[in-house]
A and B are shown apart, each in its own frame.
Chain A
Amino acid sequence: KAGVTQTPRYLIKTRGQQVTLSCSPISGHRSVSWYQQTPGQGLQFLFEYFSETQRNKGNFPGRFSGRQFSNSRSEMNVSTLELGDSALYLCASSLDPGTGVNTEAFFGQGTRLTVV
């Protein structure tokens, strides 16, 4: 079974540009979450999508947005990039049995974004 795939693995962008990151979840997983990892702030939750709807949202500005497609693949977009957006962006997918029982979140290897 293929794992969570994130593309691209590395990205260099200039301040003010926008960027789109992609995440393909494990087959059958319907929940996709995004996290930002930086040395200073650690791992922070961005948002979660389930069945093409944003279900949870972290405390990030509106420049950070996402979407999920009918095949559960998800994209994350950051507009008007700032130097502080340089980070490792991680995507996680999980089953969502709807029973309230926590199931494992499987993480991709991440996309390392550098803003110059």
Chain B
Amino acid sequence: AQSVTQLDSHVSVSEGTPVLLRCNYSSSYSPSLFWYVQHPNKGLQLLLKYTSAATLVKGINGFEAEFKKSETSFHLTKPSAHMSDAAEYFCVGGSQGNLIFGKGTKLSVKP
């Protein structure tokens, strides 16, 4: 069975500084991994997905994630945080019809 663990429940950064949201996965086979974002009172939006075609995955709004099999990690990064990035981020595994969500990381961005 696949599982995902988000290592931080809350991350706070200043506007313009880098963002790092950490996610580890466990899977006995090649995993399917995604990052979703949820803004307050909004639904979930896909940021990016790992399809095994490339280990560095680029997503929307300047986010990217690197799949590292040796470390079983799929951390989400962004070079420069913007105020509009403040939201909750979910690392997700599983298949399209049965997604397995991490507990979420709340990102705060200070002006």
- List A residues at the B interface (Cβ < 8 Å): 4, 31, 33, 35, 42-45, 48, 50, 55-56, 58, 90, 92, 94, 96, 101-110
- Rounded to whole angstroms, the CA-CA distance of A44 and B51 in the bound complex is 23
A102 contacts B43, C-beta separation under 8 Å: no
List residues of chain A with CB within 8 A of the CB of B103: 42
Which 9 residue pairs spanning A and B have beta carbons closest together? Answer: A48-B97, A43-B101, A107-B43, A107-B44, A109-B43, A56-B98, A94-B96, A102-B32, A42-B103
Q: Mark B29-51, 1 if CB is under 8 A from A, else 0.
A: 00010101000011111100101
Cβ of B63 under 8 Å from chain A: no
What CA separation (Å) do A109 and B40 show in the bound complex?
10
A38 to B46, CA, bound (A): 20
B: interface residue count bin: 20 to 34
> Please, could you name 11 A-B residue pairs with CB atoms under 8 Å apart, sorted by A?
A33-B98, A35-B99, A55-B97, A56-B97, A92-B44, A102-B34, A102-B49, A103-B96, A105-B46, A107-B44, A108-B43
Given contacts A101-B51, A102-B49, contact A90 B97 (CB under 8 A): no
A107 contacts which chain B residues (CB < 8 A)? 36, 43-45
Binding site for A on B (CB under 8 A): 32, 34, 36, 41-46, 49, 51, 90, 94-104
Q: Is the pair A102, B95 in contact by a Cβ cutoff of 8 Å?
A: yes
Number of A-B residue pairs at CB separation under 8 A: 61
Q: State whether B97 touches A94 (Cβ < 8 A).
A: yes
Residues of B within 8 Å of A45, CB to CB, are 94, 98-100
Q: Which residue of B lies closest to A46 (CB)?
A: B98
Provide the bound-state CA to CA distance between A52 and B99, in Å: 19
Decide if A33 touches B51 in the complex (CB within 8 Å).
no
Task: Say how far A41's CB is from chain B's closest CB, in angstroms.
Answer: 9
The reply to whether B90 and A102 contact each other, CB–CB distance below 8 Å, is no
Assess the B43–A104 pair: CB atoms within 8 A.
no
CA gap between A106 and B44 in the complex, in Å: 8
A99→B34 CA distance, assembly (Å): 18
